[in-house]
Amino acid sequence: MTAVALCLAGCSTHGDRVVLSETLPAPATYAWRATSFAQQGAASSDGLTFREAIGNAVAFSPSVKAAYAEIDAKQGEALQASFRLNPELAVALPEVANNGGLAEEDSGQELQISQTLELGGKRFKRLAAADLETSLAVWDYEVARVLAASQAAEAFVDVLAAQDRLAILNEFVTVAEKTRSVVEARVKGGRASPIELDRAKVSVAQARALVEAERARLEAARRKLASLWGADYPTFDRARGRLGRNRSVPTVDEVKAFLEGNPTLARWADGIAHRYAVLQVEQSKAIPNMTVGLGVRRFDEDNSSGLLASLSVPLPIFDRNEGNIAAAERRIAKAEFDAQATRTQLIGLLIEALGALRAADIQARAIEANVLPAAQSAFDKTRTGYEEGKFDLLNVLDTQRTLFEARRDLINARAEFEKARVQVEVLIGRDLNER
């Protein structure tokens, strides 16, 4: 199993590996390309690869699509923020009749057009705030993509682990059946009690039950993985990969600096900038707008006409927008605290993930170096000794069970290592083997 690699736009590939080794796309340069994935919901003929699983999950995730739709919505709001206020057209008609009679005086007609001028740079500040909201939507989209990719990576590990456990348990059944055959031969030869044959048969039945249970877990894991790209049933026969290769466990200090590229944290740079932009918008509202008008008036009395001009400015006596300005200032402080809280939270998650990574690596190495060789040796010796009459069947069955439990524990430890590596690489945004 390779290190986690998120098949996102802009990621690099190394053979069958896909590595999130580049910085996530910046809001200003990001471009969505759903068709960049070579496989859309299908798997290679020789099994589903890690890259295909991640690519399918990211391409078809409803959460990712929803986040992308929000980007479009924010771009629409930014476009709306760029527009100037519409001019107003006013028409004054002649006085109409009163109480069934004619008006005493026909004062004529009036046509006037007026335009409100936004002072204090309101439109440009409003547009700057809207653009930053779009940037935040892009960062939220990046977070959704990383989450979809990490879920698919963990589900893929579950499938691989279930496949490996099933293979081990099938071997267990084969060995148990061979043991039963040996016991059966000894019973027929009068060298063993029929009770031992019953015990051997129980061991075979237990092994077969474990196989069926693991097969059910594998099917559930396959369906869970396929569901991440909207498939009702798995579209692949098997997952292709190996668990526990290239195990590397860095220290917190070695990778902590990479947290700054995590989109959950990186978004706060734009988040704080947006709060400052909102403050500027609120401050500009304290400056009153000016409305200018120009028109023409026609007098029916002497059939003459004249130009009209008007100018109006609200007097900021009672409302100077102090409340909204104060609120915007406090939200800047809140955003800065939120950024600090996010960084603290991510550091905690990184420490936890690295701890799980180290624990799984220690367990796997112990099983590989000490437990598994000893268990294999004990089983080989007791089986040979049983055939020679030196040991009873209980010793054989005990060492047989211990051997396959050790092999299963090794698979589980490797799977836990891969899941922890997924979490670390999601947090730091790069392959642990290429720091």
CA angle (337 as vertex; 131, 333 as ends), nearest 5: 65
pLDDT of residue 7: 43
Does residue 306 form part of some domain? no
Q: Which residues contact 282 (CB under 8 A, 6 or more apart)?
A: 321, 324, 325, 327, 328
Does residue 93 form part of some domain? no
State the alpha helices, DSSP H only, in 103-232: 122-188, 194-227
Does residue 98 form part of some domain? no
Does residue 373 form part of some domain? yes
Does residue 303 form part of some domain? no
CATH number of the domain where residue 54 is located: 1.20.1600.10
Identify which of 117, 119, 108 has the alpha carbon closest to the alpha carbon of residue 308. 108
**Partners of 14 in beta bridges:** 17
Residue 257 one-letter amino acid: A
Helix-helix angle 50-60:62-81, to 10 degrees = 50
- 182, exposed or middle or buried, with CB in 10 Å at 0-12, 13-18, 19+? middle
| Residue 148, domain extent | 12-85+121-286+322-434
Q: How far is it, in rounded angstroms, from Cα 125 to Cα 279?
A: 9
pLDDT of residue 55: 93
Residue 231 one-letter amino acid: A
> For residue 148, what are the CA distances in angstroms to 24, 61, 356?
15, 7, 21
Query: How many folded domains does the chain comprise?
Result: 1
The label of the residue with tokens 């691989």 reads 160
Three-state DSSP class for 244?
A: coil
pLDDT of residue 183: 87
pLDDT of residue 389: 77
How far is CA 61 from its chain centroid? 10
pTM of the model: 0.80
The dihedral through the CA atoms of 14, 15, 19, 23 has a sign that is: positive
Question: Consecutive 10-residue runs of the chain (435 residues): their mean pLDDT?
Answer: 40 33 33 30 67 93 94 95 93 64 59 92 94 95 94 95 95 91 85 86 93 96 93 89 85 91 94 96 94 88 84 91 95 96 96 96 94 93 84 87 94 95 91 71
Does residue 299 form part of some domain? no
Does residue 307 form part of some domain? no
Q: How far is it, in rounded angstroms, from Cα 414 to Cα 165?
A: 12
Q: How far is it, in rounded angstroms, from Cα 338 to Cα 242?
A: 40
Does residue 268 form part of some domain? yes
Q: How far is it, in rounded angstroms, from Cα 290 to Cα 222?
A: 66
**What phi and psi values does residue 239 have, to the nearest 5 degrees?**
-95, 140
